[in-house]
Structure 1
Amino acid sequence: MDPASVVAPSALLSRPGAVPGAGVDAAVAAHYGDPMREQRLLGEGLAVVDLSHRPVITVSGPDRLSWLHSLTTQHLTDLTPRVGVESLVLSPKGHIEHALHIVDDGERAWITLEPGTAPALVDWLNRMRFMLRVEVSDVSDSYAVLGEPIGAHSIGSEPLAWVDPWPGPVGDTALYGPAEHPAAGRAWRELIVPRADLVDAVGDRHLAGLWAADAERVMAWRPRLGLETDHRTIPHEVDWLRTAVHLHKGCYRGQETIARVHNLGRPPRRIVFAHLDGSGHVLPDPGTPLVAGERAVGRLTSVARHFEEGPVALAVVKRSLPLEQTLDAQGVAVAQTVIVAP
């Protein structure tokens, strides 16, 4: 990992009971001692999630929106101030490289990213500036992110916030999952606050860890970069067109793949929601292969324990896998629910 992408532990890890996350999430808490209670509080709008390991970059200058529009998958030229959108940066072959949570304040675009991805994105954006009036800055040392349900109590003046558009649909796009989505009405946002004020921004509210937030995300069938995606993932496979891809905007890198798959066929893989057999004490880890008989057909991508639904997961499988097929993940039975149809 690039040393510039290593994030210092959050100040909120000093809270009683805090247990650090793993991997790219090690700088914030997985939970604070009672993950199930944290989930319930989060669902009731009484808790906030420390996402201060998410990098924050800004793009300023009069050309910022038209420039970002030309480089990414979403329509951004007429973006209304303080309206959150998401967009993707694709490879020339249409594979997902970056997921951008964007909110513009009228003077600059604020973008939050997955942990560890800022150096590569900032470097690429700077190489794409040419003679345009834009300036890219990594402000992660000065600003931090908190996640919360919309309507949750906030301390002090209302901060800048990115409101998650999932499950949309947003704009001129296509649905690869169901039109009647289980996450309809979902209300989630990311607050962008001065890092020095992180503890004060939480105030006396309850803290919920990433385990609670991930359980909510899995139940919403919401993909996360680096978990539901790998170096070959195209947006159609994980139903990401619904909120992040505009189908009839100007050219951008990777657009040919978006159009070809949408117009001529189906993606080679598909995301599914899964219930896991919870009779054992240990659940398989993300990345565990999924097997049908003796044949590998995919992998678990996100695994969570939901306080009502029990062990649940997201997985990516081969398109040809029969819909009724029960799968195995290292001895744990996995029942699939279709998201992207084959």
Structure 2
Amino acid sequence: MSLPHYFIGLMSGTSLDGIDAVLVSFTDERPEVHATYYRAYEPELRQALARLCYAEKVEMRALGEADARLGLLFGACVTQLLEEAGIGRDQVAAIGSHGQTVFHHPQGPHAFSLQIGDPSRIAQTTGITTIADFRRRDIAAGGQGAPLAPAFHRAVFQSREEERVIVNLGGIANLTVLPKTGDGPVFGFDSGPGNTLMDGWVAEHLGHPRDDDGTWARSGRVDVALLQALLSDPYFDRPPPKSTGQEYFSRRWLHEHLAERSLRSEDVQATLCELTASSVTQAISRYAPDAGRILLCGGGVHNGYLRERIAGLAHGPVASTASLGLHPDWVEAVAFAWLARQTLNGLPGNLPEVTGAGQPVVLGGIYRP
């Protein structure tokens, strides 16, 4: 019997919390997750990455060293994942590494999206073919380089029975609208902030990396005037294709809205939670009013108060992707294992109707061991 060909997906999102690693095999398009591994960023590394993401000026040495350091760390996560799974590296066809986004600038004649986590070091330390730098080819084809997960969502979650919306609650929230199979094109976009503003605010005021279960937000009261001011940002009314990042919905953006307002810190947190829930559900109402099911994934799934607010505002049943057999913590990492498989097979990984690219393209660079 021939050995199965596994794929590994590596994901580190805009929340800057850590690295997700999954070991996956595919039967046709259906993924089977065999093992998972998560490594939280050490506080010092998270602070260094935050400086790269938020600083107006970045030292090239700091950027280069972080790129190298993350490449080694990604490789170490792969090694640990395989050791815990009891799988040899010769059984893995490829690693798909999203990398750590430090800047996303999808507009203008010189649009770009920059992810770090040196794939050469991943390939060198693991001995496994590594595919990375997925976003730039889509941008070269006229797209925004994001979101890329909708092609995977279509392959795995689309149904003949109902229209579905997949909501990834990462640092930035993004939606994939999946019409009934054959009823029209799939599309998706970033709806706005997910966890990034809430995480930043709780870190600034309580020194915690996140608001566990939304407990602090739940203790506050939504300030309607602030919420309306935040929702008046033109990004929310911009039609897709569109993508954004923590560069746009930044702490500076928030503090500009807070200028000359005197609010309790917990009320700001409650308002930021409501901003995420409102922007997500308003986007669904606008672009998928007939959705039969709304399926959540990403780190924000663990924020119970955020889940409650989305369910309270949504017009339709809300569940997690676990109801379709894929744990919400691992959807994004599995997506990049799938994208690596697409690339290795010479198949496109983007959806032009989602990213705005002029054509479907094979994504990423291949780094052989």
TM-score, normalised on structure 1? Answer: 0.30
Task: Give the structure with the larger strand fraction.
Answer: 1
Task: Give the structure with the larger helix fraction.
Answer: 2
Q: Which of the pair has the greater relative contact order for Cα pairs under 8 Å at 6+ separation?
A: 2
